């Protein structure tokens, strides 16, 4: 049976009011699609999608993906003609991500990585939609100092299913198993993107998320605090590069379905803090504090598969930091109130 084509694709983005999700929604709208954004706003915010709300091709639904979802019951989606057109693509990003408030969201994280997956995969099965899961570099476990680079074939060094981080780290591994199993059993066209540390505008402030907190401290003339040992190394990918990788993976042939997305450049985070201080023009110090449970040195990605999609991270660190600094300066009052 030939695949039906439509003037505009209907695309569902779960977690679409979050940091990466909101940038993805903007990209998809720019490309001429209709986008249904689903988010329960546990760690996302409507302020991230304010500019999209007036657009007739965009619809936001405040829903929890752990609950049963029947999109055809929502009058707001009448223009999407779901009974006739269905949904062509699903980007599944919904999962609480908070560093400092990690304990607060443990049960929601556990459910998002199990029940939530099931709800979204069943939607994909109903509409025969292509579906992409936003996985994480945490599936590889902590960094091997002697050999920090990992390719997709690496099975990981994680053994923390009973640890305080298990609901997220092991949850992402189990999520990949769920998506892979639906691919095997139901012949769904599944994509899995293992996303490495990403930064940029719309990251939450005051949450221990490295870059935005560094910027806020610099603007306020306070010492920058690096949580973790010294030195603390990480890769950093700008959010629009991440979104470009997700879109390219979704459009790729079915056999290109598991891909690392991240920068393979290793940074000492204290050096990054110094760049931020220089850009802001503040003379304060950089000090190290006790590690946070959800903030650790992760592996570095080998990106050969992503490069086969024509993908490369294009935004230089200095430019990405400047964009992030400009955003925090412009939105500081609003964001700190939220």
State yes or no: pLDDT of 19 exceeds 80: yes
Where in the sequence numbering do the catalytic residues fall? 168
State yes or no: pLDDT of 334 exceeds 90: no
The more confidently predicted of residues 290 and 108 is 108
State yes or no: pLDDT of 109 exceeds 80: yes
| pLDDT tens-place string over residues 240-283 | 999 999 999 999 999 999 999 999 999 998 899 999 999 999 88
Which of 81-90, 122-131, 149-158, 309-318 is predicted with the least confidence, judged by mean pLDDT?
Answer: 149-158
Backbone angles phi, psi at 126, to 5 degrees: -60, -45
Q: Quick one: pLDDT at residue 294?
A: 63
Q: Quick one: pLDDT at residue 260?
A: 98
Percent of the chain with pLDDT over 90: 71
Alpha carbon distance 309, 320 (integer Å): 23
Q: What is the DSSP string of 17-57?
A: TSHHHHHHHHHHHHTT-EEEEEE--SS--GGGGGGGTT-TT
| pLDDT tens-place string over residues 32-74 | 999 999 999 998 999 999 999 999 999 999 999 999 999 999 9
Domains and CATH numbers, the chain: 10-199+235-265+296-315 (3.40.50.720)
CB 82 within 8 A of CB 10: yes
Strand residues in the chain grouped as ranges (E): 10-14, 34-39, 58-62, 89-92, 130-136, 149-150, 190-195, 198-199, 224-227, 233-234, 237-238, 258-261, 267-268, 286-289, 300-301
Alpha carbon distance 332, 30 (integer Å): 27
229 confidence band (pLDDT: 50, 70, 90):
low
Looking at every residue in the chain, the average pLDDT score rounds to 91
Q: Quick one: pLDDT at residue 304?
A: 97
State yes or no: pLDDT of 2 exceeds 70: no
Q: Quick one: pLDDT at residue 158?
A: 64
Q: Quick one: pLDDT at residue 157?
A: 66
CB 180 within 8 A of CB 133: no
6 confidence band (pLDDT: 50, 70, 90):
confident
State yes or no: pLDDT of 290 exceeds 50: yes
The more confidently predicted of residues 313 and 296 is 313
Q: Quick one: pLDDT at residue 266?
A: 94
């Amino acid at each position: 049976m030939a695949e039906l084509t439509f003037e505009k694709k209907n695309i569902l983005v779960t977690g679409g009011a979050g940091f990466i999700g909101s940038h993805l929604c903007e990209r998809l709208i720019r490309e001429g699609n209709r986008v249904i954004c689903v988010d329960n706003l546990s760690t996302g915010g409507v302020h991230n999608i304010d500019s999209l709300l007036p657009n007739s091709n965009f619809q936001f639904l405040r829903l929890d993906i752990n609950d049963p979802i029947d999109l055809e019951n929502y009058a707001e989606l009448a223009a999407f003609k779901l009974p006739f057109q269905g949904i062509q693509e699903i980007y599944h990003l919904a999962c609480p991500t908070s560093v400092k408030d990690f304990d607060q969201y443990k049960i929601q994280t556990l459910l998002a990585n199990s029940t939530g997956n099931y709800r979204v995969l069943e939607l994909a099965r109903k509409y025969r939609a292509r579906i992409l899961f936003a996985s994480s570099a945490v599936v590889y476990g902590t960094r091997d100092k002697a050999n920090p680079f990992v390719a997709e074939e690496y099975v990981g060094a994680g053994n923390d299913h009973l640890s305080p981080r298990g609901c997220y780290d092991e949850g992402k591994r189990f999520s990949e198993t769920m998506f892979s199993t639906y691919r095997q059993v139901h012949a769904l066209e599944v994509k899995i993107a293992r996303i490495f540390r990403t930064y940029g505008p719309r990251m939450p402030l005051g949450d221990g998320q490295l870059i935005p907190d560094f910027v806020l401290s610099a603007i306020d003339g306070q010492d920058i605090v690096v949580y973790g040992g010294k030195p603390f190394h990480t890769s950093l990918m700008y959010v629009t590069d991440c979104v470009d990788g997700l879109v390219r993976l979704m459009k790729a042939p079915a056999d290109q379905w598991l891909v690392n997305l991240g920068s393979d450049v290793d940074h000492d985070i204290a050096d990054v803090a110094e760049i931020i201080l220089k850009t802001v023009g503040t003379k304060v110090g950089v000090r190290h504090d006790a590690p946070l449970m959800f903030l650790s040195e992760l592996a570095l990605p080998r990106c050969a598969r992503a490069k086969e999609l024509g993908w490369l991270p294009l935004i230089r660190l200095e430019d990405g930091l400047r964009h992030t600094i400009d955003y925090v300066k412009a939105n500081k009052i609003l964001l700190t109130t939220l």
